[in-house]
Structure 1
């Protein structure tokens, strides 16, 4: 395996440790700021750092911060927090999803949409690649993952353009690739496009697979060789927690446990234990969800501890390593 690129330097894959493979730490998405949706603004440095401290205290070692530039990435602040808390944080280059792109691009008078439309695919790919190889927004901090995304049951022309740019950036840098799927949709459609573009799908992770807890769909995604991210723990408003566990175990029964990643997509003040909303906090998955999963896995005939070692340690170490 190659090395893993964290905000505070490259590390050997074996150094990564217990990893959340999709979260957000401190970010101010311009789309939501413009709409005064305060819950979606993780804009309190101290509160965010307390969440990291809680994560470390329950055994967490590393987080993939899936915050793309169009979601209000704050890379210097996050890198400094990670260093103080002695955690590995992996940053993102690339794009999220199209409806966010009406907002103005930081440091520019253009919207994200106007920039994406006006630039060539090669120019977009080169920009993303430089954030991986040189640094983000003039800083010394480098991204360790490239990202793109699509909407709910649709892929817009601009989203399709960013998909191609991100594939090119992945191929030129060897970075792992993360794909946002809105409500877990369009994964198979994305996979067909990525395959046509020549992507090695074993370098890709599809996010939000548990928003669409369809065992057949998950098997088809797994058959592409890609990783699947289950990253909605605690969101009972969608369905009871056992639905996610059943979906994960259904994959394991068919031998796909080496392609599963876990995270919380922690992205709201109301999810936080330290933003004054009384939420469950970043520690929830390791402190509370983990023992429940072990119990349910054992009831189903699995070694729950061994599965979680794959999901939290071994699988992230393989996925986040550069090829």
Structure 2
């Protein structure tokens, strides 16, 4: 069996070489739901990633899936220019992010599409029948619906599970408002057989129910706490308390941290927000001070190195 590796857009790297990781972010992103707020500027992406790298950042996991303006042909350029590893995603988001015609074209062969992007290369123009580039995906992105799993979510998760079984790739789940975490785990792991430590639950800290992170952690999945620079979110104010409770319950090894930048204005470079640098200039020192350097090292280095490693 091959040794585990993390599949980046510049090739596979040993987990020990991933380094300090932003485990959930977007360098490029476009959707009809976000009209006028696209992340589509390669220079801005490089500037933001460089600002992260200057503080010790070494890797960013881009959760932008197929068909959402991920700029597959530019990701390698950004990685080289910024000096950071970039892990790209295949998969699909909620149905509302796509033209119905595109969903109809790919609907019957989602698993094959995901496997092709994981093993051969990303479709450079987000066309399922178009050419693929040398950059390959390293994870499969799926999404729940608000407070549950609709038919689209179940169809995409079923295809993602098949693609996981054919490749070993991790499955990253967008939880709308932090809801439906247990539904997603029940389907992916209980019904479809994806190992629980191959699932990453995103936005789990955004649920208004403070019991949800602990319930999600008890499933054995990884938990991605993302968007910590959004100071107007109540979940951000209680982030350290939530992490402290998880650490106290023995879940240190499941915690991941990311920025989840979805608008240009949220970036540190050219925007108004603290962006990616916030993870290392503010959050990591706070985590070290409140919970200890070992917890911070686990969340930023050791855990992502395990979560995204696959014996390709």
TM-score in same-fold range (> 0.5): yes
Q: Distance in 1 between matches of 2:23 and 2:159?
A: 23
Q: Distance in 2 between matches of 1:256 and 1:289?
A: 19
Tell me the matched-pair count.
300
- Summarize the alignment of residues 219-298 of structure 1 with structure 2, pairs less than 5 Å apart: 219-239=214-234, 241-275=236-270, 277-295=271-289, 297=290
User: Counterpart of 2:105?
Assistant: 115
Q: Deviations over 1:175-207 (max 9, x none)?
A: 111011000001101111111111111101000
- Summarize the alignment of residues 182-197 of structure 1 with structure 2, pairs less than 5 Å apart: 182-194=176-188, 195-197=190-192
Secondary structure (helix, strand or coil) at the match of 1:285 reads: helix
Q: Distance in 1 between matches of 2:16 and 2:55?
A: 20
Deviation at 1:32, TM superposition (A): 3.8
- Summarize the alignment of residues 29-178 of structure 1 with structure 2, pairs less than 5 Å apart: 29-32=30-33, 37-38=35-36, 40-101=37-98, 103=99, 110-112=101-103, 114-116=104-106, 119-120=107-108, 123-137=109-123, 138-178=132-172
User: Counterpart of 1:305?
Assistant: 293
CA contact (8 A) 2:40 2:69 kept: no
User: Counterpart of 1:4?
Assistant: 6
CA contact (8 A) 1:98 1:151 kept: no
User: Counterpart of 1:107?
Assistant: none
User: Counterpart of 1:211?
Assistant: 206
TM-score using structure 2 length: 0.92
Q: Deviations over 1:32-73 (max 9, x none)?
A: 46xxx32x3112221221101101100000010001123221
Over 3 Å counting, the alpha-carbon distance change for 1:252 and 1:214 in structure 2 is farther
C-alpha RMSD of the superposition: 1.6
Deviation at 1:125, TM superposition (A): 0.5
CA contact (8 A) 2:31 2:38 kept: no
Name stretches of at least 5 consecutive residues in structure 1 with no aligned partner: 105-109
CA contact (8 A) 2:93 2:141 kept: yes
Q: Deviations over 1:95-128 (max 9, x none)?
A: 1122213x26xxxxx232x235xx33xx210110
CA contact (8 A) 1:150 1:180 kept: yes
CA contact (8 A) 2:205 2:213 kept: no
Secondary structure (helix, strand or coil) at the match of 2:74 reads: helix
Deviation at 1:286, TM superposition (A): 0.5
Secondary structure (helix, strand or coil) at the match of 1:69 reads: coil
Q: Distance in 2 between matches of 1:58 and 1:162?
A: 37
Deviation at 1:240, TM superposition (A): 6.4
Deviation at 1:214, TM superposition (A): 3.8
CA contact (8 A) 2:93 2:143 kept: yes
Moved over 4 A (4+): none
Q: Distance in 1 between matches of 2:164 and 2:286?
A: 36
TM-score using structure 1 length: 0.89
CA contact (8 A) 1:210 1:232 kept: no
CA contact (8 A) 1:41 1:269 kept: yes
Deviation at 1:271, TM superposition (A): 0.7
Deviation at 1:278, TM superposition (A): 2.5
